[in-house]
Amino acid sequence: MSEALLSISFNELCQLEGIESQLIIEIVEYEIVSPLNKQQAPNDQQWLFDTSSIHWIKKALRLRHDLEIDWVAIAIVIKLMRQKEALQKENDAIRRQLRRFVKNEIN
């Protein structure tokens, strides 16, 4: 099963989410999110982000506001959250495979 890649432009992200462009640039500089086309886009106004970036940007901004920590710490926290999410998905997939295996062994 493949997922369709949905994207949002830099300007759309700023307008729709009410986020100042400078904040997005800082978040990208600290590699909290990365534009899909960062290497090809001559300037930040042409960046495209996958829609999951919105989720991580909002989390980063919430951490900044609620905990008043710097961007370096936020980048580390977001990286750990992403790793945890990936491990949970992997664990869920392994559990599904195990259930199928056990079910097939019983039958």
Domains of the chain: 7-106 (1.10.1660.10)
Kindly list the distances between the CA atom of residue 75 and the CA atoms of 2, 28, 82, 98, in Å, as whole numbers in the listed order. 28, 10, 11, 34
pLDDT at 106 over 80: no
pTM: 0.80
Q: CA distances (Å), 77 to each of 6, 21, 33, 36, in order? A: 25, 22, 13, 22
Q: How far is CA 21 from CA 13, 60, 65, 107, in A?
A: 9, 15, 17, 59
CB 57 within 8 A of CB 33: yes
The three-state secondary structure class of 68 is coil
Banded pLDDT at 4 (limits 50, 70, 90): low
Each residue of 28-72: pLDDT tens digit? 999 999 999 988 877 888 999 999 999 999 999 999 999 999 999
Structural tokens at position 4: 């369709």
- 3-state class percentages of the chain: helix first, strand second, coil last, to nearest 5: 65, 5, 25
